[in-house]
Amino acid sequence: MKLWPVWLACAGSAVAEPSGQHHGRQIYQKLCVECHGANGEGNDEEFVDPLYGEKSVEALARRIHRTMPEDEEHLCVDDDAAAVAAYIHQAFYSPQARAGLNPPRRDLVRLTAPQFKQSVADVVGRFMGGHGRLLPEKRGLSFKASGLHEDSAGKNKFTNVKRHQFERSGEDLTFNVREMIGEEPITTRSDITVNLSGSILAEETGSYEFVVRSANGFRLRVNQDHSQLAVLDRWVASGKDIREAGVRVELVGGRPYALHFETVVSPKDQHATTEVLWKTPHGALERIPKRFLYSVWSPPVAVVTTSFPADDASYGYERGSGISKDWLLAVNRGAIEAADFVEANLNRLAKTKAGAKDRDRKVREFLGRFVEAALRRPLDSDEQKSFLEGPINRADGVIPALRPVVVRALTSPEFLYPELPQGEGGESRETAARLALVLWDSVPDEALAKAAAKRQLDSPQAIERQARRMLDDPRARLKVRGFFHHWLEMDRAEDVSKDHERFPGFDEQLMADLRISLELFLDEIVWSESSDFRQLLLADYLMLNPRLAKVYGEQPTQGGFQKVAFDSRKRTGVITHPYLLATLAYHDNTSPIHRGVFLTRNIVGQQLKPPPEATAFKDADFDPTMTMREKVSELTRDKSCMACHSTINPLGFSLEHYDAIGRWRAKDGGRAIDASSDFLPETGDRIRLRGARDVAEFAASSPIAHRAFVRQMFHHLVKHGMASYGRDADEHLYRRFRDSDFNIRELCVAIAKVAALGSGDSSSAQHPADATKSLHANTQ
């Protein structure tokens, strides 16, 4: 509550003092209450509508001054009108006030499709040793070669050579056996057996294609252990040519998967290159880059491959707000897939082995803990009967009851509706469940569940500690990455294509490279220590590989992706990233309107109404000698258009220096680019924009932009309306963000805390300085 006046100040009011409000209330009671009601609810008899709206205090004051009370307008003017406006605005008129009076309820939601898949992987994964452990910094698979060599006495000896794969090879998963072996004495007398093993990190959920090019026989295992038939087995090579073989594997993002490649190389092929390539869900086929590879092993992950109906995205973020028959069928199929996995990996999950005397007991114990992990709580004795003993008796044994128990747990409402109240004493577990959802889209891991069981999640500090720990996990990165995909509307890029004549060489491969470039740029900033939101807008570099450098760079580069600095007028953060610029453009030309709308809504943080009528831009309608800016100005000159386009156009024109694939250009059709305009923000003075950097600097320092960013991040992570977390949530989070120097990770922690506590009540807010301190302590 104590933050409330500050919100008014930010909204541009200077009259939000308690005494003024008192004065305003008195006048309202005297002159207004009869028609408008005590809380502005209106009056059916007098046909007075409720007094709710979104006008500013000043606008309300002007209107009261002019029109109220009806027929006796002179009774309330000037300062009195301002006082009444200030009072009603904070008491019931504004959305924030209404949220406080009658907070919107938080709907019951189900797991979204990604949450279902993540949760299944983690409920099962909790019982797989090695699941969810932190990955080492060092990248690259481990490499082992073995073969014969002749010792000094002329006898054959067996030799092993072990290496970290990238000690000798390049930046990606490609190698030449002789180079890897180097001077080690494996001679050319015998076949050389090569093993590459470790883990590969899947950053996204979806279908991954793995392709191997090799002259030799090979096996590739992904998300499998050695006892399983390799997903790609070409151990037997008929013929002598370099062969290529591929396979698709479904992976749930945000976690590492076991990767094992083995091949036998004949001496004559030891100089030949073997390549292992992949195509990620949004990528192009490429050699697997080093940054995804780790030498540590990972246990198999239970991947649900069933496709689900799309989640409701009508709120502007995906939400589990409705159910359907298709959804229920998908849930059933997903649960059955999980049961298949549990059956196949039972001994490892239950920590037993074939033929063990106590196998049934171990499996029963496992099943009990499995159900508890799925339900996110312990079972009481009745539930033990219902979930375990009943099925075991009906199936006449523990092993035969496996499928029904697993499927029941994963189709139970408590698994599917993760925020159901857990009853008395369950508050800690509810907190844990919400934290896991917000940061991981999943269920609590062992550590979080333990903390909840010991009631160690009752203080905001404890929650914050857990949130920080969880934020270091790849699942949290996946979730935050998902936010950026949404914020930057990266889905639009799915089918971008460009005019081949104008932009030769702009193909799927280049677009895939650009996507990686943008992801790397985001990772670089978000996961750096300062994690500074403003750098997303202001950084003057791009991540380029040689292919991209040829198109976008000023000079060629070598190797993999690297930072390439630009003149700070030419590149400024995400808004001049070619991936976005190419997406927000026509196939043969720029589109200042698309770019302007994007900047207005997502970057500057202003609302736009839908256009009054649909108008299509048709290039052929214009004189071909006109610049794009002139065409757009012409098209939107109508007054009804300019209500919004007076905002959209200046922002869009500021990016006219970037062509339809995002290259810097000085001219449009032979005429010099004019990227300058005057821009009138929602609040504040008219400013002169001379180009992209001015837009970036404006947004980087604009509270409206900051608040919009906070709100969008909140919705993405929490998947509930912010208003349902109390009228303070908005303000509290904004201040946390601002006071942490716009630290994005801090924002995520703060959001997780608000969501976990169920409210943004400032009493739970920690002093920001403490937060920053503990962050530093944590990262050192």
Partner 1 sequence: MKYYDRRNFLRDLGVSAALAPFVGGLPSLLGKDSGAAPAKQRLIVMFSPNGTIPEEFWPEISEDSLSFKRILEPLEDFRDRTLALRGIANKIRGDGDGHMRGMSCLLTGTELLPGNIQGGGNTPAGWAGGISIDQELKNRLQKNEVTRTRFGSIEFGVAVPNRADPWTRMCYAGADKPLAPISDPEQMLAKLYGDAKDKETLLGIVDGVKDDIGRVARKLSSEDREMLDQHLTLVREMEVELSQAGQKELIHPVPEIDPAVELVNDNTPELSRMQIDLLVSAMANDMTRIGTLQFMRSVGQARMHWLDVQEGHHGLSHEPDGNKDSREKLIRINRWFAGELAYLVRRLHDTPEPGADGSMLDHTLVIWLNELGKGNSHTLNDIPFLMIGGAPGIRMGRSLDFAQTPKHEGKAKQGNKRNFVAHNRLWLTVAEAMGQPLDSFGNADLCAGGALDLG
Of positions 408, 434, 485, 706, contacts partner 1 by CB under 8 A: 408
CA atoms within 13 A on the CB side of 83: 19
Site for partner 1 in 151-190 (CB under 8 A): none
Q: At what angle do helices 474-487 and 460-471 cross, to 10 degrees?
A: 80
Torsions phi, psi for 173 (to 5 deg): -80, 80
> What x/- string results for residues 250 through 289 when contact with partner 1 is judged by CB under 8 A?
--------------x-x-----------------------
Of positions 12, 206, 316, 423, contacts partner 1 by CB under 8 A: 423
Torsions phi, psi for 681 (to 5 deg): -70, 165
**Rg of the Cα trace of the chain?**
31
> Which one of 67-75, 410-418, 604-612, 676-684 is the stretch in contact with partner 1 (CB under 8 A)?
410-418
Shortest Å, Cβ 226 to partner 1: 9
Of positions 209, 250, 414, 489, contacts partner 1 by CB under 8 A: 414
69 prior amide bond cis, ω within 30: yes
Helix (H) or strand (E) holding 582: helix 578-583
> Which one of 26-34, 118-126, 327-335, 659-667 is the stretch in contact with partner 1 (CB under 8 A)?
327-335
Of positions 52, 297, 417, 586, contacts partner 1 by CB under 8 A: 417
Contacts of 780 (CB under 8 A, 6+ apart): none
433 binds partner 1 (CB under 8 A): no
672 binds partner 1 (CB under 8 A): no
**For partner 1, the closer CB: 136 or 413:** 413
Of positions 354, 616, 666, 777, contacts partner 1 by CB under 8 A: 354
Site for partner 1 in 207-246 (CB under 8 A): 216-217, 227-229, 233, 235-240
Shortest Å, Cβ 323 to partner 1: 6
Handedness of CA 595, 600, 602, 608 (dihedral sign): negative
> Which one of 284-292, 417-425, 693-701, 725-733 is the stretch in contact with partner 1 (CB under 8 A)?
417-425
Site for partner 1 in 48-87 (CB under 8 A): none
**For partner 1, the closer CB: 99 or 230:** 230
Q: What's the start-to-end Cα distance of the chain, in Å?
A: 36
**For partner 1, the closer CB: 88 or 331:** 331
> What x/- string results for residues 363 through 402 when contact with partner 1 is judged by CB under 8 A?
-----------------------xx--xx--xxxx-xx-x
Distance from the Cα of residue 78 to its chain's centroid: 49
Of positions 45, 183, 241, 324, contacts partner 1 by CB under 8 A: 324
**For partner 1, the closer CB: 78 or 343:** 343
> Which one of 9-17, 87-95, 332-340, 637-645 is the stretch in contact with partner 1 (CB under 8 A)?
332-340
Cβ–Cβ contacts within 10 Å for residue 507, how many? 14
Joined together, the tokens standing for residue 710 give 């906070």
The beta-carbon contacts of 612-620 under 8 Å, at least 24 apart in sequence, are 612/640, 612/641, 615/641, 617/586, 617/591, 617/593, 619/586, 619/588, 619/589
407 binds partner 1 (CB under 8 A): yes
Contacts of 677 (CB under 8 A, 6+ apart): 649, 650, 653, 654, 688, 689
Contact 364, 402 (CB under 8 A): no
Cβ–Cβ contacts within 10 Å for residue 735, how many? 18
Helix (H) or strand (E) holding 457: none
Question: Where along the sequence are the contacts to partner 1 (CB under 8 A)?
Answer: 105, 107-108, 110, 216-217, 227-229, 233, 235-240, 264, 266, 322-325, 328-329, 332, 336, 339-340, 343-344, 346-348, 353-355, 386-387, 390-391, 394-397, 399-400, 402-404, 407-408, 411-414, 417, 420-421, 423
